[in-house]
Structure 1
Amino acid sequence: MASSLFKFDQRPRVFKSIYHEIIVIILVCMAQFLSQAGVTMSLSTMNIMLNSFQVTDKTIQVWFMGGYSLSVGTFILFSGKLGDLFGLKKIFIVGWIWVSLWSLITGISYYSKSIIFFIICRAFQGVGYALLLPCGMGILGHIYPNGKRKNLAFGCIGANGPIGAMVGAFMAAVVGQTWWWPWEFYLITILSIILLIGSIFFIPHLSNDEINGEITIKNVWQKLDIFGALTGIIGLILLNFIWNQGPVAGWGKAYIIVVLIISILLIVSFFIIELNFSTHPLLPRSIFNIKVGLILACISFGWGSFGIWQYYYWNIILNLRLYTAIEGGLTYTPFLVMGTIAAITVSFIIIHTKPSYIISFATTCFMVGCIMLSVMPVEQSYFRISMGQMFILCWGMDLSFPAASIILSDILPQHHQGMAGSLVTTMVNYSVSLFLGISSCVEIEIFKHNQDQLGSYRAGLYFGIGVAAIGVICSFVLIFLTKDDLNGNEDLVEEVEHKHEEIEVRNYEINDESDEKEEIR
């Protein structure tokens, strides 16, 4: 049993040696590492940054995390399509160039003395990770066939979530508290340039079957689904903007209501276009089934609640417990240890356990973490509830992300591997930003009534508990629907493959009809 557990598949031929394989995995893992570090580095030093910009209204700090996650989550679906279309390696390299440039500009934004410009720079920095994450996961999904070796590679990506969160928080705290916070972003710039060079030389060239023939403006416009992409991206950005800006500006403002209505209309239009009019939709229609939908819903609600937990955890320890930035960064140490163990573990247990069980356990961990923080006394020692919740939440992060990524990578065809990487990452990042905006609305409204800072933080956490509970319910429904599945996600794969074959046949017939019409003309 033990020997079979650690017996891996043969190394893919694209790798020249085991060292080449390790380097490629590290390059992809660093995208996940820096993406999560980008979230926590603005949390551990948020008071330092507010003071440097001489801002007293702390309600704007929700944009430090929300704006960054918004850009990552919104642009990531489109960037996955770019990778499938133009080549995963090319877009991966462009991603590192983008991150390098905007990390540098974000550091320079200190001289503008404008907190708004800093937030905008952070949002543009997130676009770079939106290019990197799906393409990086797509590269591994393209290289590795289904099996233990692929599961371990995806587990390594998942492990870099909590590692990046801890290192990012602590590194930023040390630099911001003892030196000068712009250097947080200058260091990211230097590291990104190194990773850019490594990606150019070590990432293998992969075949690209999405565009057949010459790449022209016409077929690029069609295959990228530009009209649908613009409708969806603008709608998602406006919806998220309203939930983050509404509590800050006030819900009575006319532009808030107008933009909210416009965002809803755009999102509805996006789905109408994708399902009825688009010849090359951003989301392959073959994935539109209830099981895949429930998996993505669990990821959305689970990670949305975790984003709420992170935001209020840092507010409590910095503003109420009065920890320094470095002390706060050190409290994330359990994520570094247990998160790594959890992420590597999922690559083995997913072979022998139904994915629905893994995701259900993960969503439960997210909910328990929010509950523990909502009842944590301010004066209590860190080594009780504060530390305990870390050991639970790391399982939520590192079971859900790799499990969902592996499932979707397995069920989608080779030319949609960039899309497989983008689906999970989209749900993670956009949900973090959206639900954080709604929870901050709850917090601000409660504070207006009782002027109790701890009580308002807990009100936001209660909303997070409710969000996580919905994810748990979705996971129970998923377990019920997959109760007759005998071999993990094999039935799900067969169902999606059957739908994909039907759509391919339909598209083939449509293309034949178009060719006949052209001949007649």
Structure 2
Amino acid sequence: MGLLNFDERPKIFKSSFHELIVVTLVCLAQFLTQAGITMCLSTMNIILKDFKNSDSSSLATWFMGGYALTVGSFILVSGRIADLFGLKKVFVIGWIWIIIWSIIAGCSYYTNSIIFFIICRAFQGIGFALILPTGLGILGHIYSNGGRKNFVFGCVGANGPTGACLGALMAGVVAQTWWWPWIFWLLAIFCSILLVLSVFYIPHFVSDQQEGSTLEKIDIPGCILGLVGLILLNFVWTQGPVVGWGKAYIIVLLVISVFTIIGFFIYEIKFANYPLLPKSIFNIKIGLVLACMSFGWGSFGAWQFYYWNIILNLRKYSPIEGGLTYIPFLVLGIIASLLVSFVISHTKPSFIISFSSLCFMIGCIMLSVTPIEQSFYRMTMGQMFILSGAMDMSFPSATIILMDVLEEKGMAGSLVSTIVNYSVSLFLGMSTCVEIETFKHNQNLLLSYRAALYFATGIAGLGFICSLIFIFVQRDDIKGTTAFIEVDNIDESSIEKK
């Protein structure tokens, strides 16, 4: 028996066990990427105490923001590198990079420098930026359209909330009962095992053989413009409210980042021979899908950060208790892996995206009005059920849509992952700005948290509006993600003749 009975097992696999190992490795790439965020949320107060002269109100944001920044920014480049140099090779290099920087992150305790720890977290994120889109590209190369592919990508998407839960819980257990550097050292040990399995079980794929030199195909000018613009823009929104918007370097970097990003798009569209962003993505349907993902996951990034601030700083939960509150994500992630393939195969992508956007917005609204003294089993637990649906539906459906429309599977995985992770970091910086400015006026921690969540609700609302537009644009398409691509690519001249 294969992994699924929908269709035959791809011939590239030697056995069902081989298929299971490969799919599990890619699922764990998604699992650990999300776990990398929450492992420093549940333990942020413990880690901050071990670094002298640390300002928790500002630096705690960078625990999550710095990691998500590099994951989101470097994914833009990693997909192209994987398509050119080989998916397996980049996948293996990614694991090695994570192992090295996880070890260094744990050793940062001895430097007594919180800045160095944040830098280690940022470099750690680069490794996940290599393995996540590359893993999606591997699955995109292996599986053709059908129920088997939908199920596999559903499993990958479900590992997002599952990783968020276990990452927070296991890190909380280690930090509270042992010593927080072991969070990163144990991660390095686990990734070493995954590295060995990847070397032996991930299939080899032929890299891109288009004409032109390798350096030209990497699109170095585009990489530089894109990375510089994305990193500077995110840095400004995260650091600006901390040091004050009146600082000259903040204003200068903001202007530079805006012009750099504009320059990036102009270069990619007009001048690049091998653009990082394929011209096929510049259509209204793909744009609306990416906009919904950006606003939805951006709002979730803010929800996640302020959820942990509320339960740790206001409800006074311990790291372990906080990790246990994430168990609904774990349970629903497993259920979603069994249901999401059916939903994707029998429902228009526009309806799935719209449902996810609505769930993101409702989750932010619920947290913003949840009383601090209320039992966890009421509104707090309820919003996790809603947000699990948003995460489990949006990620796999958007990934499959782009996998079908783009020939470069690594690049397709990069686009979705870039939007998700970069938006988490960018909108977290913006919501932090709202929190800090609100706190300056009322000196009330709860009200400042809620102000940030109101902003996140507005961001999620924009995503829901985009999803409604998407429904209208796709109103004449038939069901299923394959139909979405087929209808979108019909020759206009053939329609006129008819």
Which category describes the TM-score, using the shorter chain as reference length?
over 0.9
After superposition, where does 1:480-499 map in structure 2 within 5 Å?
Answer: 480-494=472-486, 497=489
CA distance in 2, matches of 1:7, 1:130: 32
> Aligned match of 1:396 in 390, 393, 401?
390
Partner of residue 286, structure 1: 280
Partner of residue 102, structure 2: 103
Q: Aligned letter for 1:397? A: M
Partner of residue 85, structure 2: 86
Partner of residue 29, structure 1: 27
Partner of residue 365, structure 1: 359
- Can you list the C-alpha shifts for 1:99-139, whole angstroms capped at 9, x where unaligned? 00011111011111011100000000000000000100000
Asked if the contact 2:145–2:482 (Cα under 8 Å) also holds between the matched residues in 1, the reply is: no
Asked if the contact 2:477–2:487 (Cα under 8 Å) also holds between the matched residues in 1, the reply is: no
Q: Aligned letter for 2:92? A: I
CA distance in 2, matches of 1:228, 1:403: 28
Q: Aligned letter for 1:50? A: L
Asked if the contact 2:219–2:275 (Cα under 8 Å) also holds between the matched residues in 1, the reply is: yes
CA distance in 2, matches of 1:199, 1:393: 32
| Equivalent residue pairs, number | 487
Question: Shift in Å at residue 60 of structure 1?
Answer: 1.4
Partner of residue 269, structure 2: 275
Question: Shift in Å at residue 207 of structure 1?
Answer: 2.3
CA distance in 2, matches of 1:488, 1:56: 50
2:243 is equivalent to residue 245 of structure 1: no
Bigger mean CA deviation after superposition, 56-65 or 381-390: 56-65
Which secondary structure state, in structure 2, belongs to the residue aligned with residue 130 of structure 1?
helix
Asked if the contact 1:343–1:399 (Cα under 8 Å) also holds between the matched residues in 2, the reply is: no
Q: Aligned letter for 2:39? A: M
> Aligned match of 1:51 in 49, 52, 55?
49
Question: Shift in Å at residue 365 of structure 1?
Answer: 0.5
Q: Aligned letter for 1:357? A: F
Q: Aligned letter for 1:271? A: F
CA distance in 1, matches of 2:226, 2:338: 35
Question: Shift in Å at residue 7 of structure 1?
Answer: 4.0
Which secondary structure state, in structure 2, belongs to the residue aligned with residue 368 of structure 1?
helix
- Can you list the C-alpha shifts for 1:341-389, whole angstroms capped at 9, x where unaligned? 1243121111110010011001100000000000000011111111111
Partner of residue 404, structure 2: 410
Asked if the contact 2:300–2:364 (Cα under 8 Å) also holds between the matched residues in 1, the reply is: yes
After superposition, where does 1:415-426 map in structure 2 within 5 Å?
Answer: 416-426=408-418
2:441 is equivalent to residue 449 of structure 1: yes
Counting aligned pairs with the same residue, the percent is 63
Partner of residue 469, structure 1: 461
Question: Shift in Å at residue 486 of structure 1?
Answer: 1.5
The two structures have a TM-score, normalised by structure 1, of: 0.92
- Can you list the C-alpha shifts for 1:13-42, whole angstroms capped at 9, x where unaligned? 110000000000011111111100000000
Partner of residue 512, structure 1: none
Asked if the contact 1:343–1:402 (Cα under 8 Å) also holds between the matched residues in 2, the reply is: no
Partner of residue 259, structure 1: 253
2:199 is equivalent to residue 207 of structure 1: no
CA distance in 2, matches of 1:24, 1:331: 31
- Can you list the C-alpha shifts for 1:155-197, whole angstroms capped at 9, x where unaligned? 1111111111110000000000111000000011001110000
CA distance in 1, matches of 2:481, 2:315: 45
- Can you list the C-alpha shifts for 1:319-350, whole angstroms capped at 9, x where unaligned? 00000010000000000001221243121111
CA distance in 1, matches of 2:471, 2:153: 23
> Aligned match of 2:299 in 298, 305, 322?
305
Q: Aligned letter for 2:401? A: I
- Can you list the C-alpha shifts for 1:65-95, whole angstroms capped at 9, x where unaligned? 0000000000001000011111100000000
Q: Aligned letter for 1:373? A: L
Asked if the contact 1:287–1:496 (Cα under 8 Å) also holds between the matched residues in 2, the reply is: no
Unaligned runs of 5+ in 1: 1-5, 500-521
Asked if the contact 2:404–2:482 (Cα under 8 Å) also holds between the matched residues in 1, the reply is: no
2:31 is equivalent to residue 13 of structure 1: no
- Can you list the C-alpha shifts for 1:214-258, whole angstroms capped at 9, x where unaligned? xxxx71111010011101100100000000000011001011000
Partner of residue 41, structure 1: 39
CA distance in 1, matches of 2:406, 2:96: 28
2:321 is equivalent to residue 337 of structure 1: no
Partner of residue 157, structure 2: 158
CA distance in 1, matches of 2:68, 2:432: 15
Partner of residue 511, structure 1: none
Q: Aligned letter for 1:162? A: P
CA distance in 1, matches of 2:48, 2:129: 26
Unaligned runs of 5+ in 2: 492-498
Asked if the contact 2:345–2:481 (Cα under 8 Å) also holds between the matched residues in 1, the reply is: no
CA distance in 2, matches of 1:156, 1:17: 19
CA distance in 1, matches of 2:210, 2:115: 44
Partner of residue 431, structure 1: 423
Asked if the contact 1:411–1:492 (Cα under 8 Å) also holds between the matched residues in 2, the reply is: no
Bigger mean CA deviation after superposition, 55-64 or 296-305: 55-64
Bigger mean CA deviation after superposition, 404-413 or 158-167: 404-413
Question: Shift in Å at residue 409 of structure 1?
Answer: 1.0
CA distance in 1, matches of 2:463, 2:56: 33
Which secondary structure state, in structure 2, belongs to the residue aligned with residue 206 of structure 1?
coil
Distance 1:78 1:497, change over 3 A: farther
Question: Shift in Å at residue 496 of structure 1?
Answer: 5.8
Which secondary structure state, in structure 1, belongs to the residue aligned with residue 39 of structure 2?
helix
CA distance in 2, matches of 1:498, 1:80: 27
Question: Shift in Å at residue 488 of structure 1?
Answer: 2.6
CA distance in 2, matches of 1:342, 1:467: 25
CA distance in 2, matches of 1:452, 1:493: 50
CA distance in 1, matches of 2:345, 2:375: 40
CA distance in 2, matches of 1:431, 1:58: 21
CA distance in 2, matches of 1:153, 1:399: 13
Question: Shift in Å at residue 211 of structure 1?
Answer: 2.2
CA distance in 1, matches of 2:344, 2:304: 27
Asked if the contact 1:364–1:468 (Cα under 8 Å) also holds between the matched residues in 2, the reply is: yes
- Can you list the C-alpha shifts for 1:379-408, whole angstroms capped at 9, x where unaligned? 111111111111111000100001111111
